[in-house]
């Protein structure tokens, strides 16, 4: 028997103001997208903005449904749209921001497990890392250099061959 230790490095920015200018713009795009979320059930609105290799920004927000599992998270709305529109273009980074009608969200909100798996698919497909920045409404912004940092030992297509 042996033990393997998995390490993840997370960079923490005190506030959005500490982000590099281009990332700040990306996060503001996520915040704008968040405002159009359709979240009548959870009251938890999320916006995601991803930047492609040609610097085009694509946004998404959560879309809920009366049949709860039929809804979709902001991150997947954005990355599936990017994949549908530009199947051969790489994604460089994703910014995520969340807010709630119930409480002030002042902690970074990472992508859920399903979104991590979905984003991982594109990271594997494009053979280059996707940097993830995430925050609440205010407060710290967290950054990981690649999606795989949030989902070690991920399930990916090489297992299916
Ligand atoms: Zn999700």
pLDDT tens digits, residue range 52-104? 999 999 999 999 999 999 999 999 999 999 999 999 999 999 999 999 999 99
> What pLDDT was estimated at residue 79?
98
> What pLDDT was estimated at residue 76?
98
> What pLDDT was estimated at residue 40?
98
> What pLDDT was estimated at residue 103?
93
What number is the average pLDDT over the span 23-27? 98
* C-alpha–C-alpha distance, residues 150 and 35, integer Å: 26
What number is the average pLDDT over the span 2-17? 97
Q: Pairing between strand 91-100 and 131-135? A: parallel
Residues with CB under 5 A from ligand 1 (ion): 73, 112, 115
Average pLDDT, the chain: 97
CB-CB contact of 30 with 60 (8 Å): no
70 Cα: distance to centroid of ligand 1 (angstroms): 12
51 Cα: distance to centroid of ligand 1 (angstroms): 18
Task: Tell me which residues are annotated as active site.
Answer: 75
140 Cα: distance to centroid of ligand 1 (angstroms): 20
Cα atoms found within 13 Å of the Cα of residue 119, Cβ hemisphere only: 33
2 Cα: distance to centroid of ligand 1 (angstroms): 33
What number is the average pLDDT over the span 42-53? 98
Calculate the alpha carbon distances from 14 to 17, 93, 108, 146 in Å.
8, 19, 11, 20
What number is the average pLDDT over the span 127-140? 98
Query: Which residue blocks in the chain are alpha helix, DSSP H?
Result: 21-34, 74-85, 113-126
* C-alpha–C-alpha distance, residues 151 and 161, integer Å: 21
Residue 36 CB neighbours (<10 A) = 13
CB-CB contact of 143 with 13 (8 Å): yes
- Percent of the chain residues topping a pLDDT of 70: 100
> What pLDDT was estimated at residue 21?
98
- According to DSSP, residue 17 is labeled G
> What pLDDT was estimated at residue 17?
98
What number is the average pLDDT over the span 41-45? 98
112 Cα: distance to centroid of ligand 1 (angstroms): 4
* C-alpha–C-alpha distance, residues 109 and 140, integer Å: 10
> What pLDDT was estimated at residue 131?
98
């Amino acid at each position: 028997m042996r033990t393997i230790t998995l390490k993840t490095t997370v960079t923490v920015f005190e506030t959005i103001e500490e982000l590099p200018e281009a990332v700040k713009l990306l996060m503001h795009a996520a915040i704008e997208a968040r405002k159009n979320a359709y979240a009548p059930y959870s009251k938890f609105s999320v916006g995601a903005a991803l930047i492609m290799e040609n610097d085009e920004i694509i946004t998404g927000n959560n879309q809920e449904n009366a049949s709860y599992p039929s809804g979709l998270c902001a991150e997947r709305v954005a990355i599936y749209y990017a994949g549908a529109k530009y199947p051969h273009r790489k994604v460089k980074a994703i910014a995520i921001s969340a807010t709630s009608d119930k409480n002030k969200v002042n902690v970074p909100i990472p992508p859920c497990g399903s979104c991590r798996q979905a984003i991982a698919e594109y990271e594997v497909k494009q053979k280059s890392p996707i940097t993830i920045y995430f925050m609440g409404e205010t407060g710290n912004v967290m950054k990981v250099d690649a999606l795989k940092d949030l989902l070690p030992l991920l399930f990916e297509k090489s297992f299916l061959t």
